A = this chain, B = another copy of it.
């Protein structure tokens, strides 16, 4: 490690550029790692993330999924429609409040969970990291994300 930090003005700016570069690359790397595994069960990466939320808790609204995925409804609606066309879920207006649409797994969608169960272990192995390391890294990234969102919203 070099003891002296190069104090060029504007040089320090490079460092956080590199952080966003690394996040950018990591996101692509994850997507590419999942892609061949997901292709076998006919899902794209964002579709898999949405299905994972439903596997964890069925019968969610578009708004809930939108918030948990950090996606706009304009992005999520077509994605859910494709999953519906594939027979994996159903979309129906809530009878109480007809503004909201409830998304529920079909038997086929629930069944797919079994096939998808082996995927996380494959990715875990690909990372070559322990669960503790992954958890710690996740916490750091979540904290960073929260700060970026707060700064963006409150600025």
Contact = CB atoms under 8 A, between A and B. Distances in A.
Interface of A: 2, 5, 10, 12-30, 32-34, 36, 49, 52, 56, 69-70, 110, 113, 117, 120-121, 123-129, 131, 134-135, 137-138, 140-142, 144-145, 147-149, 151-152, 155
20 contacts: A5-B131, A13-B124, A14-B120, A15-B131, A19-B137, A19-B138, A20-B34, A22-B142, A23-B23, A23-B141, A24-B30, A26-B27, A26-B145, A28-B70, A32-B152, A125-B151, A128-B151, A137-B144, A140-B140, A141-B141
Copies of this protein in the assembly total 2
A13 B117 contact: yes
Given A13-B120, A13-B124, A141-B26, A134 B33 contact: no
A4 to B, nearest CB: 13
A62 to B, nearest CB: 18
Nearest to A16: B124
